[in-house]
């Protein structure tokens, strides 16, 4: 999952990475194929160094609202068929069954970055038809929704999991399975998805991690 997400980042780009796996994937990209990648933390750091004397909120406003970020990486607890992300609550907001880690800068990343990559383990409980709470917007409910509410950027262009990669259908904005990791079947991915998952006509297989990528990941 981390290697596949890292490969979606380009050398010379500016990336905002949230916590956990998102930050690890960004660091992996810098250590391997994208040494010129600038990694911004949602805590106001640039390449791991604090750089926001006015605070993380002002830092995010400068980079994200200023249109200076090419790609955002988001770790999620729950995602739905249109790539909307939930890291806030499970169940009803006022009486949730569980409170999650919270929003952080997820909403700002999802609405301000040129494109977004979402990372999470592929489990039936996490891949739901509609998220319980929209912490960070994907396509909302269809292909025109982001533009209609004035959101910049393409939103999620890939949801990368430990089973494969899902990408939005250009016509419907609904996530479609486009790649699986080696040894993973389409049936297994469908069984772990809480809606009737569409599958690409030709499902690719991701390239296994190289020795250099594994070494960089372990070192980072």
The verdict on pTM exceeding 0.85 is yes
pLDDT in tens, the chain (220 residues): 999 999 999 999 999 997 789 999 999 999 999 999 999 887 777 776 766 555 566 666 788 888 889 999 999 999 999 999 999 999 999 999 999 988 888 998 999 999 999 999 999 999 999 999 999 999 999 999 999 999 988 999 999 999 999 999 999 999 999 999 999 999 999 999 999 999 999 999 999 999 999 999 999 7
pLDDT at 64: 82
pLDDT at 62: 80
pLDDT at 58: 66
pLDDT at 30: 95
User: Environment class of residue 98 by beta-carbon count within 10 Å: exposed (0-12), middle (13-18) or buried (19+)?
Assistant: exposed
Cβ distance 138 to 174 under 8 Å?
no
Sequence-distant (≥ 6) Cβ neighbours of residue 114 within 8 angstroms: 67, 69, 70, 71, 152, 153, 154
């Amino acid at each position: 999952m981390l290697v596949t997400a890292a490969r979606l980042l380009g050398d010379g780009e500016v990336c905002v990475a949230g916590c956990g796996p998102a930050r690890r994937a960004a660091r992996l990209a810098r250590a391997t194929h994208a040494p010129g990648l600038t990694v911004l933390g949602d805590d106001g750091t640039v390449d791991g160094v604090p750089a926001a004397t006015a605070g993380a909120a002002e830092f995010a406003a400068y980079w994200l609202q200023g249109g200076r970020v090419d790609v955002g990486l988001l770790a999620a607890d729950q995602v739905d068929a249109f790539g909307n992300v939930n890291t806030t609550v499970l169940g009803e907001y006022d009486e949730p069954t569980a409170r999650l880690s919270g929003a952080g800068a997820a909403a700002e990343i999802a609405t301000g970055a040129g494109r977004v990559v979402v990372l999470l383990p592929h489990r039936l409980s996490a891949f739901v038809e509609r998220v319980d709470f929209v912490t960070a917007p994907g396509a909302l409910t269809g292909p025109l929704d982001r533009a209609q509410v004035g959101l910049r950027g393409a939103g999620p262009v890939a949801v990368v999991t430990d089973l494969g990669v899902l990408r939005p259908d250009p016509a419907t904005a609904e996530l479609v399975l486009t790649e699986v990791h080696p040894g993973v079947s389409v049936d297994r991915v469908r069984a772990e998805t809480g809606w009737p998952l569409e599958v690409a006509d030709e499902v690719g297989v991701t390239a296994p991690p190289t020795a250099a990528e594994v070494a960089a990941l372990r070192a980072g």
